[in-house]
Amino acid sequence: MAVTDDRSSIAPATAGASSGTADPFADLPRPHLELDPDAPHVADFYAYGELLTDDERAILRRLRRYLASDVAPVVDAAWEAAEFPEQFRRGFAELDLAGLPYGLSKLSDQPARRVLMGFLHAEIARVDASTNSFFGVQSGLAMGSIDACGTPEQRERWLPPMARLELVGAFGLTEPHGGSDVAGGMETVARRDGDDWVVDGHKRWIGNGTFADLLVIWARDGESVRGFVVDRDTPGVSTAKIEGKTALRITQNADITLDGVRVPDDRRLSGGNGTFADAGGVLRRTRGNASWACVGVQMAAYELALTYAQQREQFGRPIAGFQMIQDALVQMLGNTTASLGMAARNAQLIDGGGGSDAHSALAKQFCADRMRETVALGRQIVGGNGTILANGIARYFNDAEALYSYEGTREMNTLIVGKKITGHSAFVR
């Protein structure tokens, strides 16, 4: 991670420093990520990157160059300010990655493998989890809803400009009173009125919601659940940024109110089944992506802790030579490696036409669990210095809490897998 060399934010200049004596704060160890696009990742201990083809690795290197030059240098300041850098939209548009899953990229006219998309998500999250959330909402949840549930005409209308990021999307499913149980308790409603639909309700925690051009809003119509593509500037739509977050601060999550919003019928995603299974199918696609984000956060935490331990000296030698530090580092590496292996295998199953809700749910549950332990061990290794934003690990430590909860909590994913392996549903209403 790129950081400044200005130590004034760490400690005030001492009298000795001002009189020419060596600055006692000048040689403090600084954890860092390897940002050379051609360098191997120390956290990919089993070389899972070799699963990619040469062409796929070229795409990944292109992404790494952009992250090193344009994202890593600014994310600490953006995280502290809780602002999304507008230049990221232009940068990702130039990368031309959002259309890859749909064969809508100049890089390839064939839908990209899930394995490649997974490595891209991990790479972005390794530098910043919030930036990966922006990319994931755009290329996964929003575009995925239109791809899975739209008609051919709707896909042609919206997906190409979204692939170019001329239009940014958001995914409006979660509600103030409905998170895990939104399938059975959705309060946002839609009613037919002539050639239009009228949508009323509230959505919460909507990533990209403050600046998205298109909002994919899920609403209940009697026994049906339908998706609608709503322009953010439609009369009756209002958005408010959720303030005071301690995780994914760069991600612009919004509260959205829909008050008598009129939506033409051609904006109803009418290629689906008209049930919650439509939204569930989109989540099935993206839950695997969330496991890759957990992998990327772990890779960063391990690398930051390792580089710190190699620099930090106590009792006359680097702490990397202490048994308990090595134990923590090896546990972090094991967690990261196991998570990467599960995420990669799940992606391979999907690429092969297999996989299931349970496979993706287990990957998300396991990777998120391991991530939580990994970032805690990393923060522990960096010690008190790990609470300083410029030292990197604090941002990942906090962001991990959001990743742990979204795309299905640990408990919900556990019950999905439990139902699969036992044949008995333990969900209770």
pLDDT of residue 387: 93
Q: Are 1 and 32 in contact (CB under 8 A)?
A: yes
Structure tokens at 345: 């295998």
Q: How many helices (H) and strands (E) does the chain have?
A: 14, 9
Single-letter residue type at 118: G
From 277, 186, 279, select the one nearest 227 (Cα to Cα).
279
From 264, 193, 205, 191, select the one nearest 229 (Cα to Cα).
264
**What's the half-sphere exposure (Cβ side, CA atoms, 13 Å) at 166?**
7
pLDDT of residue 178: 67
Residue-level length of the chain: 429
**What's the half-sphere exposure (Cβ side, CA atoms, 13 Å) at 103?**
6
Among left, alpha and beta (phi > 0; psi -120 to 50; other), residue 383 is left
DSSP at 175 = B
Q: Are 124 and 132 in contact (CB under 8 A)?
A: yes
pLDDT of residue 317: 95
The span from the CA of 370 to the CA of 62, in Å, is 29
**What's the half-sphere exposure (Cβ side, CA atoms, 13 Å) at 70?**
17
Cα dist from 141 to 37, 47, 162, 307, whole Å: 28, 29, 12, 35
pLDDT of residue 27: 83
Per residue of the chain (429 residues), what is the pLDDT tens digit?
Answer: 333 334 333 333 344 445 556 788 888 888 999 999 999 999 999 999 999 999 999 999 999 999 999 999 999 999 999 999 999 999 999 999 999 999 999 999 999 999 999 999 999 999 999 999 999 999 999 999 999 999 999 999 999 999 999 999 999 999 888 666 666 678 999 999 999 999 999 999 999 999 999 999 999 988 788 899 999 999 999 999 999 999 999 999 999 999 999 999 999 998 777 666 777 777 777 888 899 999 999 999 999 999 999 999 999 999 999 999 999 999 999 999 999 999 999 999 999 988 888 999 999 999 999 999 999 999 999 999 899 999 999 999 999 999 998 887 888 889 989 999 999 999 876
The span from the CA of 215 to the CA of 227, in Å, is 10
pLDDT of residue 28: 86
User: What 3 state SS string does 52-63 have?
Assistant: CCHHHHHHHHHH
pLDDT of residue 144: 94
E strands in 83-168:
none
pLDDT of residue 1: 38
Structure tokens at 116: 């490649």
219, β-bridge pairs: 226
Other C-beta atoms within 10 Å of 309: how many? 22
From 268, 171, 251, select the one nearest 215 (Cα to Cα).
171
From 127, 72, 67, select the one nearest 97 (Cα to Cα).
67
pTM over 0.95: no
Structure tokens at 235: 């009369």
Cα 289 from chain centroid (whole Å):
8
**What's the half-sphere exposure (Cβ side, CA atoms, 13 Å) at 75?**
29
The span from the CA of 6 to the CA of 381, in Å, is 23
Single-letter residue type at 30: R
* Residues 6 or more apart in contact with residue 53 via CB below 8 angstroms: none
Other C-beta atoms within 10 Å of 233: how many? 7
